[in-house]
Amino acid sequence: MSTNLGGYNLGYLDEQTKRMIRRALLKAVAIPGFQVPFASREVPMPRGWGTGGVQVTASIIGQDDVLKVIDQGADDTTNAVSIRSFFAAVAGVRTTTRTEEASIIQTRHRIPETSLAEGQTIVYQVPGPEPLRFLEPRETETRRMHALADYGLMYVKLYEDIARYGHIATTYDYPVMVNGRYLMAPSPIPSFDNPKMHRSPALQLFGAGREKRIYAVPPYTDVESLGFEDHPFEPQRFAQPCAICGSAGVYLDEVITDDAGGSMFVCSDTDHCERAAPDPAGSVLTGDGADTEVNA
């Protein structure tokens, strides 16, 4: 029996697999918001760590592409680093941290602050593609609900939230209606980011590797976050600006600074923060001695 590990194909996946995934992507683009089942392959990272996003990116990436990978909005979080270096190794592509320079952006849990442009593709990593899953655990039933546009149950959940809390209590992975037809889970981006999806000039692709589903929102498609007429969707907001670069109207991370409960709020989007910072030396690459400790 052979244990000889030969070389890998460009982008890791074999051409037949890429073709299969591209066919699924085409179907997904043709039916915005609809979850297309696909034969998700094993890739050299665990399920739950972005295998869906990786398979989508691997199927569309070419040598002329420029890839940006972010996790929690940052290029430097360990998983983003790991995925970026994977593609640098197996696809030989140029990588970047600058949003507007990237042709493909693979992301976990955020949409960049810099508006996306026509020709760009953003690939979302999706843990749970089914927006109705926690209301109805059965796949056979949720499939039927989508086929018949039977989404009353989702509105019941929103109604219950308002009755109980006075607000809709979903703050991330906030359900959206795509192209007026399919209910979709946008992945665990904070509701703050939802408006960026509406009529975006970019192509938005979604990969759920473990659940084996692909879906898509073509450019300039309506994406509406659910709500009631008298309790409309309200994206979360931050009252204060970033403590480093001063940007307002951006998503912020709360960083605990001391053990007395002190904290400060800084940009989640590291690329944005770096470039908007008034003092370019404000963010410093640490030299040595970082060992295994990382402040992501």
Partner 1 sequence: MNDAQPLLQVSGAGHAYGDRSASRWGCRDVDLDLWPGEVLAVVGESGSGKTTLLGTLSQRLSLTEGSVRYQLADGTMADLSELSEAAVRRLWRTEWGFVHQNPADGLRMHVSAGGNVGEPLMATGWRHYGRIRAAAAEWLQRVEIPVDRIDDAPVTFSGGMRQRLQIARNLVISPRLVFMDEPTSGLDVSVQARLLDLIRSLVAELGLAMIIVTHDLGVARLISHRTLVMKDGRVIESGLTDRVLDDPQAAYTQLLVSSILQG
Partner 2 sequence: MYVAVKGGERAIANAHALLAKEGRGDPGLPRIEQAAVAGQLAVLVARVMTEGSLYDPELAARAILQAQGDALEAVTLVRSYRTTLPRFGYTVPVDTAGLPPQRRISATFKDLPGGQQLGATFDYTHRLFTDHDADPDGPRADREAEPRPDMPRVTDLLGAGALIEPDHAPDDGDPEPADLTREPTIFPMSRAERLQALARSDEGFLLGLAYSTQRGYGGTHPFAGEIRVGEVEVEFDAPELGFPVPLGRVELTECQMINQFTGNSATPAQFTRGYGLAFGRSERKAMSMSMVDRALRAAEFGERVVAPAQDEEFVISHSDNVQATGFVEHLKLPHYVDFQAELGLVRRLRSEFQLRMDVEPEPVPTDLAELTEARA
The residues carrying an active-site annotation are 33, 242, 245, 267, 273
Q: Is 239 in the site for partner 2 (CB under 8 A)?
A: yes
Which of 10, 23, 65, 79: binder of partner 2 (CB under 8 A)? 79
**Separation between Cα atoms, residue 201 and residue 259, nearest integer Å:** 44
Based on the shown chain and the rule CB under 8 A, indicate whether residue 295 belongs to the binding site for partner 2: yes
Tokens of 124: 């979302």
Q: Which does 283 bind (CB under 5 to 8 A by kind): partner 1, partner 2, none?
A: partner 2
Residue closer to partner 2 by CB (options 108, 221) is 108
Residue of 157, 172, 179, 275 that binds partner 2 (CB under 8 A): 172
Please give the structure tokens belonging to residue 277.
Answer: 């910072």
Q: Is 176 in the site for partner 2 (CB under 8 A)?
A: no
Per partner kind, with CB cut-offs from 5 to 8 A, the member of partner 2, partner 1, none near residue 229 is partner 1
- Give least dist CB 119 to partner 2, A: 27
Would you count residue 247 as binding partner 2 (CB under 8 A)?
Answer: no
Q: Which of residues 17-76 bind partner 2 (CB under 8 A)?
A: 37-44, 46-49, 51, 71-73, 76
CB of 170 to partner 2, least distance (A): 9
Specify the residue, 178 or 253, whose C-beta has the smaller distance to partner 2: 253
Taking CB under 8 A as the rule, does residue 31 contact partner 1?
no
State the binding partner of 165 from partner 2, partner 1, none, CB within 5 to 8 A by kind: partner 2
Query: Using CA atoms, how far apart are residues 116 and 202, in angstroms rounded to an integer?
Result: 6
- How many residues comprise the chain? 296
Min separation Cβ 290 and partner 2, Å: 4
How many chain residues are in contact with partner 2, going by CB under 8 A?
88
Measure CA 187 to chain center: 6
- Give the footprint of partner 2 on residues 103-162 (CB under 8 A): 108-110, 127, 137-140
Q: What's the CA gap between 126 and 33, in Å, rounded?
A: 13
Residues 82 and 69: their CA atoms lie apart, in Å, by 9
Alpha-carbon torsion angle 77, 213, 123, 133, nearest 10: -60
Q: CA-based Rg of the chain, rounded to a whole angstrom?
A: 20
Q: Which is nearer to partner 1, 148 or 284 (CB)?
A: 148
Structure tokens at 12: 């890791």
Given the structure tokens 């690459």, which residue do they identify?
285
Footprint of partner 1 on 223-252 (CB under 8 A) = 228-231
Task: Please give the order of strands across the beta sheet that includes 223-225.
Answer: 182-184, 176-178, 223-225
Q: Among 80, 104, 145, 250, indicate the residue that binds partner 2 (CB under 8 A).
A: 80
Name, in order, each residue with C-beta under 8 angstroms of 146's C-beta and a sequence gap of 6 or more: 34, 35, 182, 183
3-state secondary structure of 275: helix
Q: CA 146 to CA 260: how far, in whole Å?
A: 49
Q: Which of 1, 148, 260, 284 binds partner 1 (CB under 8 A)?
A: 148
How far apart are CB 203 and partner 2 at their closest, in Å? 22
**CA separation, residue 147 to residues 84, 150, 186, 202 (Å):** 37, 8, 19, 27
Residues near partner 1, by CB under 8 A: 147-148, 150-153, 155-156, 159-160, 162-164, 228-231
